[in-house]
Structure 1
Amino acid sequence: MSDATLPDTATPRPVPFRGGGFRPVAKRGVGLAVFVVLLLVIEWGTRAGWIGNLTLPRPSDVGAALVELYQSGMLWTHLGPSLARLAVGSLLGISAGIGVGVLIGLFSYIRAGLVPLVAALFPIPKIALLPLFVIWFGIDEGSKYALIALGTFTPTVVSTYGAVDNVDRALVRMGQSFGLGWWSIVRKIILPGALPGILSGLRVSLAIGIILLVAAEMLGAEHGIGAYVLQAGSLYDLERLFAGVVILSALGVVTSWVIGLVEKRLLRWRG
């Protein structure tokens, strides 16, 4: 066979990469564009009469209420106490939840004793316990801290021991085969492997904490976003009411963004 009849293998042809498609790709500006379009549609609908003023206020009027709240100084008067309550209550509940969740994931006797208790507490509407906490801790800050702490504790426990359970046991056996001790396996394999699931669970826990914060501030709080929303609702001031809702929504977005930054910093090893 002559060289002219041989296939040309000197020039390799590139093979398309087939491993993509399931990895999330950031699309900057898409979420903001959707949000802006939605606001424009609502603004147009309220001005054209398709949406009644008693149903939704104009976004421009809500923006004016936010500007007035900021210029009057009342924004920080209400937002400051809310942030403090959310920070203290969530810190207590999440810290305890991560600790208990890790213990449940590591020790069988603790799992057998505490999982039924957590399963019994988890479906209870925490808002229903607010009057009980008022009796126990008083109507001041203690009852609000306790409600937020309990509300963030149970989902954090569930997500934490679920994340520990999902750590690849092949990695644990590999560590044992290399002679690592129990504490080294926990510190170097189990906790880093469970960290993504724990951080994902924190998004849900903090969202629940914000919901319970509003409920707690609607009972016996002079200042706070929940008290502001309650006052606006009692006066049927929809612009101020939705301004409070926007602040709560922004608070949720900011907490999720902060957790995202923590994930990028702590989970750089995932690549």
Structure 2
Amino acid sequence: MTNVAEAARTPRAAARQVEQRRTLSRSTLRTISILSPLVVLVAWEAFSRAGVLDERFFPAPTLIFQALWVEASSGELWTQTQHSLTRLIVGFVIGAVPAVVIGVAMGLNRVVNAAVRPIISALYPVPKSAVLPLFLLFFGLGEDTIWYFVAMGVFFPVVINTYTGVANVSAIFYDVAENFGAKRLTVFRTVALPGAMPNVITGLELGAGMGLIMLAIAEMMGGQGNGWGFMVWNSFQLFTIESMYAYLLVFALVGLLLALIVGFVGRKLTPWISRH
């Protein structure tokens, strides 16, 4: 009986040890993720204060945070954030929604794939900043120009990743759905979209980052006179380098926040995916 009890406890003990090692690994990785940017900031501060870095071009992080505080306390940061966040959210929705629909349609229908894929393959490599003059020509100097420009940046990563996800779903799942007489909408809702969801989440994360890049380009060159991108360019022209870095930091923080939000939503939508 003793041997049987020990044999029964052994798998449970081994499982607990594996879980403890996995938990330790997660906590260690989380600590590294927090400490690594802090180490970079401390080194940057030290090199800047010591004169190794030219403070005219690489001001100390403390000066950058001080400039960010000044912008926030004066209310300027929040005004610019309202403009930029609105443009980013509207452009993201305009670009992501049709991208998911088209990507799924490409994965489910060979005719749609044959018709759309060459167009996407041809347009995707075109430098996005080079297309901005066309947007200004077509839509003029308005908010909708920035919306559509951001949407273009979001569209391509999302549609490509969505199509890849649907195409990589095993054919047996589609066969089972057809054998049970499932309609196309049911196949889309119960097979294609859930199977492609990990790729869709990846595409949305990449699209959000590309949307931020497009937002910066549009605000710098679009002539609106407001937004984070405009403040970066205006600070450069006035040679207030600390303010320029402060708004670049805003871009970085918003990009990190978007990645965390998309990742959180992705974990909730795909609980069956194992994450170590």
Q: Please, what TM-score do these two structures have when normalized by structure 1?
A: 0.89
Q: 1:1-271 maps to which residues of 2 (within 5 A)?
A: 10=4, 11-12=6-7, 14=10, 16=14, 25=26, 27-177=29-179, 180-219=182-221, 220-270=223-273
Task: Give the 3 Å change call, closer, same or farther, for CA 180–25 of structure 1 in structure 2.
Answer: farther
Structure 2 stretches lacking a partner, 5+ long: none
Shift of 1:179: 5.2
Query: Counterparts of 1:249 and 1:237 in 2: how far apart (Å)?
Result: 19
* Residue identity matched to 1:214: A
Higher mean C-alpha displacement, 38-47 vs 167-176? 167-176
Shift of 1:145: 1.2
* Residue identity matched to 1:84: T
Query: Counterparts of 1:230 and 1:36 in 2: how far apart (Å)?
Result: 27
Shift of 1:94: 0.7
Cα RMSD of the aligned pairs, angstroms, is 2.4
Shift of 1:48: 1.1
* Residue identity matched to 2:10: P
Q: Which structure has the greater CA radius of gyration? A: 1
Shift of 1:22: 10
Query: Counterparts of 2:69 and 2:260 in 1: how far apart (Å)?
Result: 24
Task: Give the 3 Å change call, closer, same or farther, for CA 148–37 of structure 1 in structure 2.
Answer: same
Structure 1 stretches lacking a partner, 5+ long: 1-7
Q: Please, what TM-score do these two structures have when normalized by structure 2?
A: 0.88
Query: Counterparts of 1:89 and 1:99 in 2: how far apart (Å)?
Result: 16
Which residue of 2 is the match for residue 5 of structure 1?
none
* Residue identity matched to 2:33: G
Q: Contact conserved, 2:235 with 2:241, CA < 8 A, in 1? A: yes
Q: Contact conserved, 1:91 with 1:149, CA < 8 A, in 2? A: yes
Name the one with the larger helix percent: 2
Shift of 1:154: 1.7
Q: Contact conserved, 2:159 with 2:203, CA < 8 A, in 1? A: no
Q: Contact conserved, 1:127 with 1:147, CA < 8 A, in 2? A: no
Query: Counterparts of 2:181 and 2:151 in 1: how far apart (Å)?
Result: 40
Shift of 1:151: 1.5
Shift of 1:135: 1.0
Residue deviations 1:151-206 (CA, integer Å, cap 9, x gap): 21122111110010111223333444555444433321221111111011111111
Task: Give the 3 Å change call, closer, same or farther, for CA 88–245 of structure 1 in structure 2.
Answer: same
Q: Contact conserved, 1:151 with 1:209, CA < 8 A, in 2? A: yes
